[in-house]
């Protein structure tokens, strides 16, 4: 068996999409609880763009190769693999990095058996987005039946996942924001959100949220935007509400003139989080919750993995450029033949 494999790397360590290229690198060797997986497909995430540009703090244990989610077939194990897996098993999983390659060595604690009802492409789009959404609403947002929730960047893969998770727990209302009327129509018609608001054309979207909730506001907000939504979030959130910050696409500096008064007046909890920097034990608990809560719904089609476009991995540059366009509604997947 060849000691090398093909992988996608970045010329000079960082750069634009055109800096991506394929090359031969050493094939990883599984150790401890790891399995060696031959990759069939991998999913793109916004962190890949930031890492490519040198703007993402990569965990010390992560491969310099991009990619954290994948599907594939187990070829071998380290010495202490989790029970329930064997050579030849079809799996999908979450890694700290290294998925833009023919093979990956990843902890078996972060692998899930691939259901026959789902394709390789669909499974490659589940781990990062659905586990992130699970973490945001349950572990941090403490979401429960009867709550209302608003997802910013509603057309993103994490929000598409989170909206479906939200509907599964009898909410009083699921809401979203995007910067596109077309995306908003999609969210209302296809995913059943109660209302979706265009933050690009409406400067008063928080007022629209209050109107839609009879003045109460929403119990939970999941935010990837940051600076532009910080102040309006404080208006749109209900008393004793929870705001979960997962990113700051519009910047990390709080705009001038934003009052902190609502923090006390409404007893708001505003908490930031990330997934990739978490240890394996924390991520493993989320994997278990995904398997118990979501996997049966994938099998019977109550939950859907929205795939925007599938590329051959030879066209990874085009895949990155499509993600940069911010025009997608769902996952971008690359397949390896």
Residue in the structure block whose two tokens are 């259901």: 115
Give the integer Cα–Cα distance in Å for 45 and 50: 9
Whether 203 shows a pLDDT value over 80: the answer reads no
H or E segment to which residue 164 belongs: helix 157-167
Please, is 16 exposed, middle or buried when counting C-beta atoms within 10 Å of its C-beta (0-12, 13-18, 19+)? Answer: middle
Phi, psi of 145 (to 5 degrees): -50, 140
Residue 131 confidence (pLDDT): 94
Question: Count of alpha carbons within 13 Å of 327, Cβ hemisphere only?
Answer: 6
pLDDT over threshold 80, residue 309: yes
What is the pLDDT at residue 279? 86
As a whole number, mean pLDDT of residues 124-130 equals 96
> For the chain, first and last CA: distance in Å?
18
* Last residue of one domain, picked from the residues 246, 272, 298: 272
Number of domains in the chain: 2
- Whether 58 shows a pLDDT value over 90: the answer reads no
Q: What is the pLDDT of residues 21-48, one digit of tens each?
A: 999 999 999 999 999 999 999 999 999 9
C-alpha 187/C-alpha 252 separation (Å) is: 27
Q: Is residue 205 located within the same domain as residue 148?
A: yes
Average pLDDT estimate for 168-175: 96
DSSP letter assigned to residue 137: I
Angle, CA 50 vertex, CA 237 and CA 142 arms, to 5°: 30
Please tell me whether residues 29 and 105 are part of one structural domain. yes
Q: Are residues 122 and 156 in the same domain?
A: no
In the predicted model, what is the mean pLDDT of residues 216-236? 96
Exposure string over 155-168, b if 16+ CB within 10 A, otherwise e: bbbbbbbbbbbbbe
Token pair listed for 167: 């509907």
Tokens in use for 72? Answer: 């594939």
Nearest to 95 by CA among 71, 119, 122, 77: 71
For 279-304, the pLDDT digits (tens) are 888 888 899 999 999 999 999 999 99
| Residue 22 confidence (pLDDT) | 98
- Please state the rounded mean pLDDT for residues 185-212: 94
Q: Is the pLDDT of residue 80 over 90?
A: no
61 band by pLDDT with thresholds 50, 70 and 90 = confident
pLDDT above 90 for 158: yes
- Name the one residue in this structure whose structure tokens are 């790397």: 9
146 and 260 housed in the same domain: yes
Tokens 């409404």 belong to residue: 266
**What percent of the chain stands above pLDDT 70?**
100
Biggest CA–CA distance in the chain, Å, is 65
pLDDT of amino acid 81: 83
Q: What is the CATH number of the domain that holds 80?
A: 3.90.180.10
Rounded Cα distance, 154 and 199, in Å: 11
Residue 79 pLDDT level (bands cut at 50, 70, 90): confident
**217-230 mean pLDDT:** 96
Q: How many CB atoms lie within 10 A of CB 239?
A: 12
Provide the β-strand partners of residue 150: 175, 221
The verdict on 138 and 268 lying in the same domain is yes
Grade residue 316 by pLDDT with cuts at 50, 70 and 90: very high
Check whether residue 259 and residue 139 sit in a common domain.
yes
Contact 166, 143 (CB under 8 A): yes
Examine the domain organization and report whether 227 and 93 are in the same domain: no
- What is the average pLDDT across 260-287? 91
Question: Which of 272, 291, 317 is a domain's end point?
Answer: 272
For residues 183 and 75, state if they share a domain. no
CATH code for the domain of 161: 3.40.50.720
pLDDT at 264: 96
168 and 242 inside one domain = yes
SS3 318: helix
At 298 the pLDDT is 96
Q: What is the pLDDT of residue 280?
A: 84
On whether the CB atoms of residues 153 and 177 are closer than 8 A, the answer is yes
pLDDT confidence of residue 216:
98
pTM: 0.91
Q: Is residue 268 domain-shared with residue 141, that is, in the same domain? A: yes
Q: Which of 239, 254, 272 is the last residue of a domain?
A: 272
> Per-residue pLDDT averaged across 130-154, rounded?
96
Domain span at 138? 130-272
Residue 108: pLDDT above 90? Answer: yes
User: Are 161 and 99 found together in one domain?
Assistant: no
Do 253 and 326 reside in the same domain of the chain? no
Which pLDDT score, from 0 to 100, does residue 129 have?
A: 93
pLDDT of residue 281: 87
pLDDT of residue 150: 98
């Amino acid at each position: 068996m060849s000691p090398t494999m093909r992988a996608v790397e970045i010329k000079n360590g960082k750069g634009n999409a055109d800096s991506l290229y394929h090359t031969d690198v050493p094939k990883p060797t599984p150790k401890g609880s790891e399995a060696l997986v031959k990759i069939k497909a991998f999913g793109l995430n916004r962190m890949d763009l930031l890492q490519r540009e040198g703007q993402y703090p990569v965990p010390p244990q992560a491969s310099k190769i991009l990619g954290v989610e994948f599907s594939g077939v187990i070829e071998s194990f380290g010495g202490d693999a989790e029970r329930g897996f064997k050579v030849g098993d079809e799996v999908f999983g979450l890694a700290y990095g290294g998925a833009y390659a023919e093979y990956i060595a990843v902890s078996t604690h972060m692998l899930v058996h691939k259901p026959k009802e789902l394709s390789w492409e669909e499974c490659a789009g589940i781990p990062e987005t659905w586990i992130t959404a699970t973490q945001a609403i349950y572990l941090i947002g403490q979401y429960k039946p009867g709550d209302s929730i608003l997802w910013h960047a509603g057309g993103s893969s994490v929000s598409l996942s989170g909206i479906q998770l939200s509907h599964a727990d009898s909410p009083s209302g699921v809401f979203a924001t995007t910067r596109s009327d077309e995306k908003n129509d999609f969210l209302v018609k296809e995913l059943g959100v109660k209302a979706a608001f265009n933050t690009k054309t409406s400067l008063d979207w928080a007022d629209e949220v209050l109107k839609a909730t009879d003045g109460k506001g929403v119990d939970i907000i999941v935010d990837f935007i940051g600076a532009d939504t910080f102040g309006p979030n404080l208006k749109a959130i209900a008393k004793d509400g929870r705001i979960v910050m997962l990113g700051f696409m519009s910047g990390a500096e709080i705009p001038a003139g934003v009052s902190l008064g609502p923090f006390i007046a409404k007893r708001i909890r505003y908490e930031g989080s990330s997934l990739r920097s978490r240890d394996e034990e924390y991520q493993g608990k989320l994997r278990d919750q995904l398997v118990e809560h979501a996997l049966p719904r994938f099998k019977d089609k109550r939950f859907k993995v929205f795939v925007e476009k599938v590329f051959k991995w030879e066209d990874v540059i085009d895949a990155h450029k499509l993600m940069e366009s911010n025009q997608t509604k769902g996952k971008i997947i690359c397949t390896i033949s």
